[in-house]
Amino acid sequence: MSVRRIAAKAGVSIATVSRVLNNDPAVRAETRDKVLAVANQVGYVPTTGRRVKTQLAFCYTSEMSLAHRFDATLLEGIVRGADEAQFEIVIVNLLRDRKSNESYTQFFMRKGIRGVILRTNAESRDTCKQIAAEGFPHVVIAERFDDSAVNFIEGDSYPDSVRAVEYLISLGHRRIGFGMHNIADRDHADRRQGYRDALAKHKIPFQENYVFEYPWTMSGGATVMEMLMNMKNRPTAIYFADPMLAVGGVKKAVESGVHVPRDISIIGFDDTDVRFSVHPTLTAVCQDAAGLGFEAASWLASSLEQPGEMRLQKRVPTFFEINHSTAPPREAGP
């Protein structure tokens, strides 16, 4: 009785109400305004009718927060990509109101969502696989899969992680630490592996106590730097494979009177431009998170316009940028 109630209140037929809601230019302006006023007044919410067909979702499959700069930056690119393709982005928490026994396809269709951009981690990889198996339009962002049914786009930080550590070695460093967000995903595992492989390649023994896995915050970085400074045989350089850890690490060093890079070389990781916010500007492995988001959304939108099924399995290389936080160690040259 929804359209009917508005019609009654406004003193017009339901046909006119429908025309107004669909912006039929034939309707007289006064009639239109009257109907819309009533609609807002009674808080009209259509229960059926034409549905929105232009929504993509940015889904987080686990506890995630836009407080993390990486996710905020991904979203920035996603929104731009969707906007260009005339789609809107809905932010959907997959942990919330999916009903019991509801498949992902059912859930997304109920929400009026055409395709999904999935943000995941180690614990929720199966969710991504299931969505892919159901055949719902999707693309996972910032993670990779061997399963050929799963579409993904991710930054490939392995080669530059090797390169970053080799750069430190080339400067003469032998005691090199590694700091990372304590998260279990492939992307981070790659960075750690890059560190280990670079050491191995140059026959530098790997030391468990040089590896720090902490929360991704500045205080996480400060903690790492503090622990590192208190070691008796302390590293002369460290590769922080997470942006805020590096920022917190530099801050702690400078605060403690430890000069960067004279006393310790620091390589950071950057999804945006935080490497420029500290002094000295960080040498860093960099990835364009906004670009990843943009490409994910653009691809998903265009795949919906194609009739056949499309596949995307893409790894975008990071880049390595040398700035002012790295130098030869004080004690010895190469």
Site residues for its own copies, 264-323, by CB under 8 A, read 272-274, 276-279, 290, 304, 307
In this structure, what are the phi and psi dihedrals at residue 231, rounded to the nearest 5 degrees? Answer: -75, 145
Which residue lies nearer to DNA by CB, 31 or 103?
A: 31
Q: Which residues contact 169 (CB under 8 A, 6 or more apart)?
A: 176, 198, 199, 202, 204
Q: Which of 12, 57, 113, 246 binds DNA (CB under 7 A)?
A: 12
Note whether 3 and 19 are within 8 A (CB).
no
Note whether 192 and 241 are within 8 A (CB).
yes
Q: How many CB atoms lie within 10 A of CB 29?
A: 7
Which residue lies nearer to its own copies by CB, 279 or 315?
A: 279
**Shortest distance (Å) from residue 212 CB to its own copies:** 19
Q: How many CB atoms lie within 10 A of CB 117?
A: 27
Residues 30-59 that bind DNA (CB under 7 A): 30-31, 46-50
Note whether 142 and 315 are within 8 A (CB).
no
Q: Which of 28, 96, 203, 232 binds DNA (CB under 7 A)?
A: 28
Residues 101-120: x/- map of binding to its own copies (CB under 8 A)? xxx-xx--xxxx-x------
β-strands 88-93, 115-119 pairing: unpaired
CA–CA dist 90, 109 (Å, integer): 13
- Contact stretch for DNA (CB under 7 A) within 26-34, 153-161, 180-188, 294-302: 26-34
Kindly give the residue spans of alpha helices, DSSP state H, lying in 22-87: 29-41, 69-84
* The entry of DNA, its own copies, none that residue 181 binds, CB within 5 to 8 Å by partner kind: none
Q: How many CB atoms lie within 10 A of CB 141?
A: 27
CA 142 from chain centre, in angstroms, equals 6
Residues 92-111 that bind DNA (CB under 7 A): none
135 binds its own copies (CB under 8 A): yes
* The entry of DNA, its own copies, none that residue 12 binds, CB within 5 to 8 Å by partner kind: DNA
Residue 96 tokens read as 């919330």
45 binds its own copies (CB under 8 A): yes
Q: Which of 28, 67, 230, 333 binds its own copies (CB under 8 A)?
A: 67
DSSP-assigned letters across all residues of 192-205: HHHHHHHHHHTTPP
CA–CA dist 154, 293 (Å, integer): 10
* The entry of its own copies, DNA, none that residue 228 binds, CB within 5 to 8 Å by partner kind: none
* The entry of its own copies, DNA, none that residue 27 binds, CB within 5 to 8 Å by partner kind: DNA
Which residue lies nearer to its own copies by CB, 132 or 199?
A: 132
Q: Which of 9, 62, 76, 196 binds its own copies (CB under 8 A)?
A: 76
C-alpha torsion sign, points 127, 62, 309, 51: positive
Q: Which among 122, 120, 142 is positioned nearest to 131, based on CA atoms?
A: 120
Residues 84-103 that bind its own copies (CB under 8 A): 86, 88-93, 96-97, 99, 101-103
Q: Which of 8, 27, 36, 95 binds DNA (CB under 7 A)?
A: 27
Residues 238-257 that bind DNA (CB under 7 A): none
Q: Applying CB under 7 A, which residues contact DNA?
A: 1-4, 11-16, 18-19, 21-22, 25-31, 46-50
